[in-house]
Amino acid sequence: MKVIISGCGTIGTAILSSLIKEKHEIVAIDVNPQIIADITNRFDVLAICGNGASYDVLETAGAKTADLFISVTSSDEYNMIACFVAKKMGTPNTVARIRNSEYNGSSFEFVKNELGLSVTVNPELLTAQTLFNILNLPSATNVETFSANEMEMIEIVVKEDSKVLDIPLYELRKKIPHKFLVCLVEREDKTYIPNGSFTIKAGDKIGIFASKSDAPEILKQFGLTQKRVKSVMIIGASKIAYYLTKILLESKSSVKIIDKNEQKCLQFSEQLDRATVVNGDGMNQDLLTEEGILDTDAFVALTGKDEDNVIMSMFAKNKSVPKTITKVKREEIFSLSEELGLDTVISPRYLVADLLVSYARALESSKNSKIETLYSLFGGIAEAAEFKILHSFKHANVPLKDLKIDSEVLVAGIIRNQETIIPCGEDVFRIGDKVIIITAGKTVHDLSDVIG
């Protein structure tokens, strides 16, 4: 597909990099000549310095024949206008980054419909929703949801005192009364899609697939207690903090926000009257202690400085805060944070890139199957993809045990009429089913490519 990306900051560049790996033809647009020079040096793409909402610039970029236009600049209004112009020029699919919380409800739907936007993405809201999912299962390092939250892929690190060590997975599934699937294991920098005889070791990072309702009980069987997060301390009065606080307050959790910018604190106090807002420096360890870090259930570092977020999270972890979450932007800091043993490290740009790669794949999916969602797992070394089974899929109603399934692929779940199925050999794919597959080191565009 031909994809035009307007706005090549951190999020735009992450999207560009991910789509290049998917073999799409990319054209990059940005008003900053230095950014364009950097893009040209790093990637084999056509890069244009100019206004992405300009007819002339879009004509040069090839908007009349492009398949997808993505505008992710820092201006919501600019993104909406650029998408409108691209749509009028002939690009059938448009994506706009819209961050302002004022664009919501009926007014937002009106604007989206009138401008012909295919998809809108709010990185901060997307990140906040992801953080909330993780806080709901505090023992998890990451949680991905599928099929309207019916199923979850939960990443955990297995502890030394876990009850599941050295037990073959086929026996483990018999011992635990809820249906689940261990679908990925990372051990000493190697990633495995385990079979039934695989045994789990202490320190393994594993991915567990289960229905959302069963997940807490399954994690208890793995020796991970799921105490509900009742109190959360957030450092940084950012847009992510705003959205996350709103969601947490609605779930009856108490929230304390600390930021050294007095104006931001006053604004948050007015907008989030049930939250406690403190004007102070989160890097001040005495302040964190005074404000109750020793008694909080979760600590979330959301400032704009990666290094500060890492240091504050390490302090919280050393003070035995049950759950710490660290936001980072830079790739090198992201990798370092995980090596330092921080609980959960999250990057908004990767979340957005995953979302838009999923959308791009869905646009070019074949008539036999359709990608519904796509997620990057274990820091990008594995993927989970959700397909819809259409009438032309030739392997419908055939038991899984009779199908030739690629050895690098695991069928993790089937969703049928809102029923979640952890599949066994006797299960079949039916027309209309949603099927979730896990892959490691392999990219799948069509379910028929890996199942025969």
> Of residues 331 and 6, which shows the higher confidence score?
6
* Topology of the domain comprising 2-121: Rossmann fold (3.40.50)
Every domain range in the chain assigned CATH 3.30.70.1450 = 128-221, 351-449
Non-local (6+) Cβ contacts of 305 within 8 A are none
> Of residues 244 and 415, which shows the higher confidence score?
244
d(CA 324, CA 334): 15
On the CB side of 352, CA atoms within 13 Å amount to 29
d(CA 107, CA 98): 13
* Topology of the domain comprising 128-221: Alpha-Beta Plaits (3.30.70)
- Taking all residues of the chain, what is their mean pLDDT, rounded to a whole number? 88
On the CB side of 53, CA atoms within 13 Å amount to 13
**pLDDT at 105 (0 to 100):** 59
**pLDDT confidence bin for 366, thresholds 50/70/90:** very low
Give pLDDT tens digits for 145-177.
876 667 888 898 888 888 889 999 999 988 888
The Cβ of residue 230 has, within 10 Å, a number of other Cβ atoms equal to 13
Give the three-state DSSP class for 9: coil
Cα 235 from chain centre? 21
Is the entire prediction scored with pTM above 0.95? no
SS3 content of the chain, % helix, strand, coil (to 5): 35, 30, 35
Average pLDDT of span 399-407: 88
Q: Assign domain 231-329 to its CATH superfamily.
A: NAD(P)-binding Rossmann-like Domain (3.40.50.720)
Every domain range in the chain assigned CATH 3.40.50.720 = 2-121, 231-329
* Topology of the domain comprising 351-449: Alpha-Beta Plaits (3.30.70)
